[in-house]
Amino acid sequence: MTVQSSSESLDRGLARGVMPRAKSGSTYNYVLRGVALLFTAVLALFVWSVLHQSWPAWTKYGLHILTGNNWSPAENNFGALALILATLITAGVAILFAVPIGIGTALTLNFVVPRRLAAPLTTVVELLAAVPSVVYGLWGLNVIVPWMSTTVQPWLASLTNSGWPFSGNAIGLGISTASLVLAIMVLPTIVAISRDVIATVPRDLIEGALSLGATRSQVLTRVVLPNAKIGLLGAVSLGAGRAIGETVAVAMVIGSSPSMPHSFFSLGSTLASTIATQYIDSSPMHMAALGALATILMVMTASVNAFARALVNRKPKS
């Protein structure tokens, strides 16, 4: 460890010595720093704009926005608890499904599939990430929603005798369908990051385990996964961040109802889907309240992402 860190600082020192900053007066340098400054300013403006827009709502309603459970713009009532809950529930369920499948897929691509097949299969998984979210929404609305209402939801309801958490009408739209679509949408993110993380597990350790007589599953469960767990947590968090912020596809299948979710079959609205469906043509206070939703969304996704990046970018020990 000491060796590495000292060579790292050596590298950095070299970088400084070899690449001296251009004379501070040069145009090149002005342009570079100018653009960096511009981008910083835009970032600041961006954050400020969301905060500024939401300000009237925060001053008027305060924490009621976070704790109130009645969102009805017509009555100027802006309690977003139901929206926050729906956001967390859909993202949570999506992650619950996507994590085992995603990490399993990453392990398969890195360790099981022959290399000749791994490249095309990886491409296929990555293409899942490239499909626009409006297309997922379209597919969800026209294919998943009918399938859920005729097949999956009746089956789930039969499990609990139409009791909680699978109570209510099986109409297809709603929290459960949104969760499923989200799970599919965040899967490629989890796979891609997990693969990178898993690939950093030193080959030394894998060979060490094999040379002791470990089977393939033992190598994966006792050496690879434990050594990658922090990075994998980062991958999962990045997926969660995407699920929380996904907008259009969710708006198309969740049924747009800002009421408190009481079952997986409930209709709902997430923070993002509410902004998407109500922003246009809203009254000034309504828009400020939507700004408040955007603020909540921004704080949630930014912190999840910052946390995730810190874990994923962490340099491996030894």
Partner 1 sequence: MSQEPTTTQTGSGIEAVALLPEPAMRLRDVSVAFSGRMAVRNVTFDVAANKVTSMIGPSGSGKTTLLRSLNRLHDLTKGAVVKGEIQLGDIDVYGNELPTTLLRSRIGMVFQRPNPFPTMSIYDNVVSGLRFNGIKKKSILDEAAESALISAALWDSVKDRMKAHASTLSGGEQQRLCIARALAVEPEVLLMDEPTSSLDPVSTQRIEELMVELKNRVTIIIVTHNMQQAARVSDDCAFLLMAEDRAGELIEFAPTTKIFNNPSDSRTLDYIQGRFG
Partner 2 sequence: MTDVLAQLPPDPLLERRRLVQSIATKTQRRRAVRSSLFIGLLSACLAMAIVPLFFVIYALIVRGGHVLTWVFITKVPVQPTLFEQDQIGGIGNAILGSLVVDLVAALIAVPLGVILGLYLSETETRWANGLRRAAEIMTGLPSILLGIFAYIYIVTTMQSFSGFAASIALAMLMTPVITKAAETALRSVPRTLTEAGLALGARQSKVSLRVVLPVATPGIITGVLLALARAIGETAPLLFVIGASINYEWNPFHQMAALPMMTFTYSSAAYDSQHAAAWGIGLMLVIIVLVLNASARLIAAFMRRERH
- Cα separation of 301 and 47, whole Å? 13
Query: Cα–Cα–Cα angle for 190, 192, 198, nearest 5°?
Result: 90
- Tell me: does residue 88 bind partner 1 (CB under 8 A): no
- Cα separation of 91 and 182, whole Å? 7
Residue 278 Cβ vs partner 2, minimum distance, rounded to whole Å: 10
Q: Give the nearer residue to partner 2 in terms of CB position, either 263 or 269.
A: 269
Query: Cα–Cα–Cα angle for 193, 194, 195, nearest 5°?
Result: 90
Among 150, 207, 299, 310, binds partner 1 (CB under 8 A): 207
Q: Give the nearer residue to partner 2 in terms of CB position, either 12 or 229.
A: 12
Both structure tokens of 318: 């030894």
- Cα separation of 252 and 178, whole Å? 9
- Tell me: does residue 315 bind partner 1 (CB under 8 A): no
Q: Give the nearer residue to partner 1 in terms of CB position, either 23 or 116.
A: 116
Among 27, 59, 211, 313, binds partner 1 (CB under 8 A): 211
Residue 65 Cβ vs partner 1, minimum distance, rounded to whole Å: 43
Both structure tokens of 50: 């969301």
- Tell me: does residue 317 bind partner 1 (CB under 8 A): yes
- Cα separation of 100 and 104, whole Å? 6
Residue 80 Cβ vs partner 2, minimum distance, rounded to whole Å: 15
- Cα separation of 181 and 142, whole Å? 12
Residues at the site binding partner 1, with contacts judged by CB under 8 A: 114-115, 202, 204-215, 218, 222-223, 226-227, 229, 317-318
